Amino acid sequence: MDIKDQKKEKENFLDRAFKFSIQVIELTDSLPSVRSCWVIADQLIRSATSIGANITEAKSASSKRDYINFYTHALKSANEAKYWLTLLKETKRVPSEKINPLIDEVEQLANILAASIITMKKNR
């Protein structure tokens, strides 16, 4: 894969993370207005939006180690977002058919991040 293709792939990945953030914000805006949902929504928004924010920050990292750190934080945020989405699903606050695509997407984002981190650590 040449540098142009790598850049395009990274932009596509960031775009997916951004779209995921938007979908999570839309989901949380539709949650029932009860205290438990407020708390979960706050945590979910923070973790979901942190994925793309950390990928963006990695673009201006000062070193490879710094770059890996931003990706590691993004991976942790993806895992946390999955937790909150699964909690909403299991407490039946959101129908499965509405939340399953988000869980699937965050799992894919986490897998890409994990694979990228492994590759970057091998190539250090």
pTM tops 0.75: yes
CA-to-CA separations, 86 to 2, 75, 80, 98, 103, in angstroms, rounded: 38, 17, 10, 12, 7
The average pLDDT across 96-118 equals 97
In this predicted structure, which of 6-10, 22-26, 61-65, 117-121 has the lowest mean pLDDT?
Answer: 6-10
Contact 24, 102 (CB under 8 A): yes
Give residue-wise pLDDT tens across range 30-83.
999 999 999 999 999 999 999 999 999 999 999 999 999 999 999 999 999 999
87, exposed or middle or buried, with CB in 10 Å at 0-12, 13-18, 19+?
Answer: middle
Residue 123: what pLDDT?
87
